[in-house]
Amino acid sequence: MTDLSINLNKIALIRNSREGNYPDVVEFAKVCIDQGANGITVHPRPDQRHIRPDDVRRLAALVKPLTNVEFNVEGNPFAPAIGDYPGFIELVAETMPDQCTLVPDGDDQLTSDHGFDLTSSGEQLQPIIERLHSLGMRVSLFMDPDLAQIELAKEIGADRIELYTGPYAAAWGSDQLEPLFQQHLAAAELSTRLGMGVNAGHDLNLHNLAKFASIPNLLEVSIGHAFTVDSLSLGMAQTVQRYKALLG
């Protein structure tokens, strides 16, 4: 059984298009949790294009007392403090999610579009992972399905990897799909063998999720974009159930 963590960035994006707090991400997190979501994910960025620091604080207050739901905060560990954005690691240290997923994204990227190159950034990441461990949270690294890189993730102390599934999703329906799927399968098997858990995310949807979730020991998927779009037509409660059914 793979856990479903719902990424609520897009609810915040709609909210930010007006003044005020409508729609409220916390109210939608409650709907997801009521329908059996196993986790809530957010991705705060220095430009606050969607999730803002106060969203992270309010969602932490909602989710952390719940024993059966995890709070996952993902983002760039090197993102600095700007204005009322306290810096990614400071925000994580303040709000203490169950899991922190480190992602090598920049403000100039529309969305995360690659995993870490640990040959160049591993040395800088290691003390950050140690700090997060000392605070008591699980650390996951956003990774491409590259076996040599996954070995490095183990060496610098990651508890889990999150496989970047964007290329897998883009290959859906093409003859590139099967080779890409096999790469992810091999990456997941290596990670498991090394003692790291495996998560996955990006562009997963109601069509491509079941195949990806056939990967043994896939612990969690985080899904936001397609989930939000599906919620527009199906309603959020039913959308959670549809995604959960594919993971069951």
- Binding site members for 1-deoxy-D-xylulose 5-phosphate: 45, 50, 111
Of 105, 86, 37, 87, nearest to 66 by C-alpha is 37
User: How near is the Cβ of 182 to ligand PXP at its closest, in Å?
Assistant: 21
Residue 137 in tokens = 């949270």
Q: Decide: is 43 part of the binding site for ligand PXP (CB under 6 A).
A: yes
CA distance 238 to 7: 16
Using an 8 Å Cβ cutoff, are 133 and 170 in contact?
no
**Looking at 130-206, which runs of residues are DSSP E strands?**
138-143, 160-164, 197-201
- 43 included as an active-site residue: yes
Q: Decide: is 7 part of the binding site for ligand PXP (CB under 6 A).
A: yes
Nearest residue (beta carbon) to ligand PXP: 201
Q: Decide: is 40 part of the binding site for ligand PXP (CB under 6 A).
A: no
Catalytic annotation, pick one of 70, 162, 202, 220: 202
Q: Decide: is 223 part of the binding site for ligand PXP (CB under 6 A).
A: yes
Q: Which of residues 93-132 bind ligand PXP (CB under 6 A)?
A: 101, 103, 111-112
CA distance 172 to 187: 19
User: How near is the Cβ of 59 to ligand PXP at its closest, in Å?
Assistant: 15
Peptide bond into 145 cis (omega under 30): no
- Binding site members: 7, 18, 45, 50, 111, 203, 224-225
Using an 8 Å Cβ cutoff, are 49 and 79 in contact?
no
Q: How many residues bind ligand PXP (CB under 6 A)?
A: 19
- 184 included as an active-site residue: no
* Nearest CB to ligand PXP, comparing residues 167 and 224: 224
Q: Decide: is 225 part of the binding site for ligand PXP (CB under 6 A).
A: yes
- 202 included as an active-site residue: yes
**SS3 per residue for 12-76:** HHHHCCCCCCCCCHHHHHHHHHHCCCCEEEECCCCCCCCCCHHHHHHHHHHHCCCCCCEEEEEEC
Binding span for ligand PXP by CB under 6 A among 21-29, 121-129, 196-204, 234-242: 196-204
DSSP codes joined into one string, 72-136: EEEE-TTPPPBTTB--HHHHHHHH--SEEEE----TTSSS------HHHHHHHHHHHHHHHHHHT
Binding span for ligand PXP by CB under 6 A among 15-23, 79-87, 143-151, 217-225: 217-225
User: How near is the Cβ of 142 to ligand PXP at its closest, in Å?
Assistant: 5
Q: Decide: is 9 part of the binding site for ligand PXP (CB under 6 A).
A: yes
Binding stretches for ligand PXP (CB under 6 A): 7, 9, 43, 74, 101, 103, 111-112, 142, 162, 201-204, 222-226
